Amino acid sequence: MEKIPVTIIGGGVIGCAIANELALTMSGVFLFEKNLYLGDEQSGRNSGVIHAGIYYDKEPLKSSLCVEGKKLLYEFCVSHDVPIVKTGKIIVACDDKEDIRVDKYVANAVQRGLSGIKKITGDEVSRLEPNVHAVSALYSPGTGIFDVPAYLAALAKSASSRGAEILKETKVAAVRPSGDSFVVDVEYGRGGTETFETDIVINAAGLYSDEIANMINPDNKYEILPLRGEYYRFNSSRRPGLEMKGMNVYQVQEPFFVDGIEHLGIGIHLTPTFNISETGKRVIGKNVLLGPTSIVVKNKNDYETERQGAEYFVDKVIKFFPDLKIEDLEMDYAGSRAKLKQGNDFVIKRDDRYPNAVHLVGIDSPGLTSSLAIAKYVGKLLNEKSGA
């Protein structure tokens, strides 16, 4: 039976970032992605926003890895010619109650040393985005957007140049512990199967990370609840009341419920998008994304069943973007986020029973922003295990 040193399960941004990181110092790094394209699930179906880490005062991994990851992501994108723009973000308050929430966000950001974040007045909001109405807002100058497919491609290219092997259309069907190593069964999309042994398993399977973790060790009992995020879009040049200057516009967090338990989501927000200029460069365009929703679905890849209508989205943002009308909106893509039922923070740890397996479970937002920092964190976990 063939034996390979490192098996990474999942070819989203987390798996690709880990492959790129580990291939710097390790040989025999193999990444397996079941789909035809990298990042075809959670990684490729989101807002593409670089977060500042404002919300995560009670989630230590999300908090630290988002802040570190933001810095690394800007540096990586610039050095690898990945389109990226520091657009800035405002989190708007539309009444006194929401104004208190903004104060709490700002106080938390200041306490944690997040640079540049401050509270601004409604008049200052109007100067940044004239068609956005608010009594106040948190202003985050370091928030941005970037081209996620280009980022994935750059990660894969870099990982491959360092010696990592990336196999697409290759599904990991089973993982069985065998002493200090593991036996892995894979199924190829074009037919055929193969079984091999591996020293290390990195479970970066996103929406399916719970299934892989529980397959390796049934004591884990992780459960991913797929949260479908739906998007619409509108053209900001359609009429003066829709014009935007290119900022991310968020509202204060709003609750959603899973099995009767309240969680806070980032809510439906306005996100600028890229367009291709006459010179072939990626620039901020006129189309603006509106979303995502947070809807629990049974099927992890159910993107279309009973989608919300345009009126739902208008109702959610009308208080701060009052000129938007139902007829302005066109339905766009949808995706699913890997919400961990057992908690709100990332789970990134070696398996309790089989320490040569590292699980990454519940890597929802801000996983994209945190991806390079997460990869470094996994590298440190492996070094600790080996005593390096």
Looking at residues 116-141, what average pLDDT do you find?
98
What pLDDT is stored for residue 386 in this prediction?
A: 54
**Fold classified for 87-142+224-340:** D-Amino Acid Oxidase; Chain A, domain 2 (3.30.9)
Q: In the chain, where are the structural domains located?
A: 3-46+150-223+343-386, 87-142+224-340
For the cut 60, the answer to whether the pLDDT of residue 365 exceeds it is: yes
What pLDDT is stored for residue 282 in this prediction?
A: 85
Looking at residues 140-160, what average pLDDT do you find?
98
For the cut 50, the answer to whether the pLDDT of residue 245 exceeds it is: yes
What pLDDT is stored for residue 94 in this prediction?
A: 97
For the cut 90, the answer to whether the pLDDT of residue 205 exceeds it is: yes
Instruction: Show the 3-state SS of the chain.
Output: CCEEEEEEECCCHHHHHHHHHHCCCCCCEEEECCCCCCCCCCCCCCCCEECCCCCCCCCHHHHHHHHHHHHHHHHHHHHCCCCEECCCEEEEECCHHHHHHHHHHHHHHHHCCCCCCEEEEHHHHHHHCCCCCCCEEEEECCCEEECHHHHHHHHHHHHHHCCCEEECCEEEEEEEEECCEEEEEEEECCCCEEEEEEEEEEECCHHHHHHHHHHHCCCCCCCEEEEEEEEEEEECCCCHHHCCCCCEEEECCEEEEECCEEEEECCCEEEEEEEECCCCCEEEEEEEEEECCCEECCCCCCCCCCCCCHHHHHHHHCCCCCCCCHHHCEEEEEEEEEEECCCCCCEEEECCCCCCEEEEECCCCCHHHHHHHHHHHHHHHHHHHHCC
User: What pTM does this model have?
Assistant: 0.96
For the cut 80, the answer to whether the pLDDT of residue 388 exceeds it is: no
Contact 146, 84 (CB under 8 A): yes
Looking at residues 184-196, what average pLDDT do you find?
96
What pLDDT is stored for residue 281 in this prediction?
A: 84
What pLDDT is stored for residue 265 in this prediction?
A: 77
**Fold classified for 3-46+150-223+343-386:** FAD/NAD(P)-binding domain (3.50.50)
What pLDDT is stored for residue 385 in this prediction?
A: 61
Stronger pLDDT, 94 or 265, i.e. the higher one: 94
Range in 29-33, 106-110, 163-167, 170-174 with the lowest mean pLDDT: 106-110
Tokens representing 266 are 């980032």
For the cut 80, the answer to whether the pLDDT of residue 263 exceeds it is: no
What pLDDT is stored for residue 363 in this prediction?
A: 97
User: Can 3-46+150-223+343-386 and 87-142+224-340 be said to share one CATH topology?
Assistant: no
Token pair 């802040």 is at which residue?
67
| Residue 336 confidence class, pLDDT cut points 50, 70, 90 | very high
